[in-house]
Amino acid sequence: MFSTAGAGVKTNLLFFTKGKKTERIGYYDLAQVKTGKKKSPMTLAHFGWGPNGEILDDAALPTSLVMDWREQEGNADKPFPSFAKMLAKRGTSSGESDFSWMVDFSARRAKAHEDMSPHLDEVGKLKIEAVSLKEELAKLKKAKASEEEISKCRAALDVVERAGREAQAKADAIDAACYDLKAVNPRARVEQDTRTTEEVLESIAKHGRTVDGALARLKQLMDESQ
């Protein structure tokens, strides 16, 4: 269901509406939160709720949840889009945020069926052809045909059956991809380094000078203490 999720342990929480067919899937991404098993576990507050189920104000949200987002351009004065706040708005434009988005699963399923169709048609044709070749092979054996004729028919059957398996595998891969619920946040901001090569080299040189100065100062302090 969540293929190629990447390195590290991933936790996925699924919420279904009982008795209804899945038409749309709402996602909320908490991948930016750094948590540990004991020292800094994920709590209900990371989802935006207090201990009694109340929706937390931004001031009460964990720093690990909001800090990086606050530092991004344009977010300083915005209310943080916690899961608790976005939940009631899911499926609407106001429910879309840097961490929440909606996928039209019904449309994805229809597209998958459309893409699978030619492969499944090919599978059907090849099965009919394979049945015909099997019947032909049985007739040849019953008629005690030459080994060359039998080998030729058997080789043709192998080719057809292999092609059928390959066509079925392609259809299965499309179907599996449709039901892979793993998703990459389409709104994730990627900070790009726009510096030129010369600026990068100057930055490295500057840090090198800082390190050299610190080492010289440390050596001086050690000499003075002796």
Mean pLDDT of 198-203: 84
The predicted pLDDT at position 180 comes to 87
The predicted pLDDT at position 203 comes to 85
Q: Where are the beta strands (DSSP E) in 55-207?
A: 100-104
The predicted pLDDT at position 9 comes to 47
DSSP 42-94: --GGGGTB-TTSPBPPGGGS-HHHHHHHHHSTT-TTSPP--HHHHHTTTTSGG
Q: How far apart are CA 83 and CA 80, in angstroms?
A: 9
Residues 191, 186, 65, 55: what is their CA dihedral angle, to the nearest 10 degrees? 150
Write down the pTM of the prediction.
0.66
Please state the length of the chain: 226
Task: Give the chain's mean pLDDT.
Answer: 87
Read off the pLDDT band of 14 (50, 70, 90).
confident
- Render pLDDT for 142-197 as a digit per residue (tens, 0 to 9): 999 999 999 999 999 999 999 999 999 999 999 999 988 887 888 776 666 677 88
Read off the pLDDT band of 202 (50, 70, 90).
confident
Per cent of the chain over pLDDT 90 is: 50
CB contact set of 174 (below 8 Å; sequence gap of 6+): 112, 115, 116, 119
Read off the pLDDT band of 11 (50, 70, 90).
low
> How large is the greatest C-alpha to C-alpha distance in the chain, in angstroms?
106
Q: Which H helix or E strand runs over 208?
A: helix 197-225
Closest CA to 31 of 49, 15, 13, 50: 13
CB contact set of 213 (below 8 Å; sequence gap of 6+): none
How many C-beta atoms lie closer than 10 Å to residue 118's C-beta?
Answer: 12
- Decide: residue 178, CB within 10 A, 0-12 exposed, 13-18 middle, 19+ buried: middle
- Render pLDDT for 95-123 as a digit per residue (tens, 0 to 9): 899 999 999 999 999 999 999 999 999 99
DSSP code for 181? -
**Phi, psi (5° rounding) for residue 42?**
-75, 135
Strand-pairing partners, residue 27, are 101
Q: Which H helix or E strand runs over 26?
A: strand 24-28
